[in-house]
């Protein structure tokens, strides 16, 4: 295990380093799209955050619009279900 594997960020730190909002990083952690752990808050593995943005970047350059729309709808409905569930 190298030092990059042990680098963790809070959602606010991930937002400052990688862009997007702290709420975005909290949500992708909650959805299981990035690795991390909870101990008095969320701690996201930095390498996992980088990998997610890389996957999204690759997908956006090669995926057809229908695939991107389906993914956006999935995220939207997951968010709606979470809001209703409380």
- In the predicted model, what is the mean pLDDT of residues 47-73? 78
Model pTM score: 0.63
**Predicted confidence band of residue 5 (pLDDT cuts 50, 70, 90):** low
55 in a structural domain:
yes
Backbone angles phi, psi at 43, to 5 degrees: -130, 115
How many angstroms separate the CA atoms of 37 and 29, rounded?
A: 9
Is the residue at 53 inside a domain?
yes
* Percentage, residues of the chain above pLDDT 90: 44
Domain membership flag for residue 66: no
Q: Is residue 22, in this structure, part of any structural domain at all?
A: yes
The per-residue pLDDT for 61 is: 58
Q: Is residue 45, in this structure, part of any structural domain at all? A: yes
Instruction: For residue 46, give its domain range.
Output: 3-61
Whether 32 is in a domain gets the answer: yes
More confident residue, 4 or 25: 25
Residue 46 placed within a domain: yes
Is residue 83 over pLDDT 90?
no
Bigger pLDDT: 31 vs 56? 31
Judged by phi (left if over 0) then psi (alpha if -120 to 50, else beta), residue 43 lies in beta
Q: How many domains does the chain have?
A: 1
């Amino acid at each position: 295990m190298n030092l990059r594997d042990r680098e963790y960020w809070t959602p606010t730190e991930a937002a400052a380093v990688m862009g997007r909002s702290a709420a975005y990083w909290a949500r992708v952690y909650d959805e299981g799209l990035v690795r991390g752990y909870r101990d008095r808050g969320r701690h996201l593995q930095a390498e996992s955050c980088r990998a997610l943005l890389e996957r999204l970047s690759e997908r956006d350059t090669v995926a057809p619009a229908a695939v991107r729309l389906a993914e956006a709808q999935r995220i939207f409905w997951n968010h709606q279900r979470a809001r209703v569930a409380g």
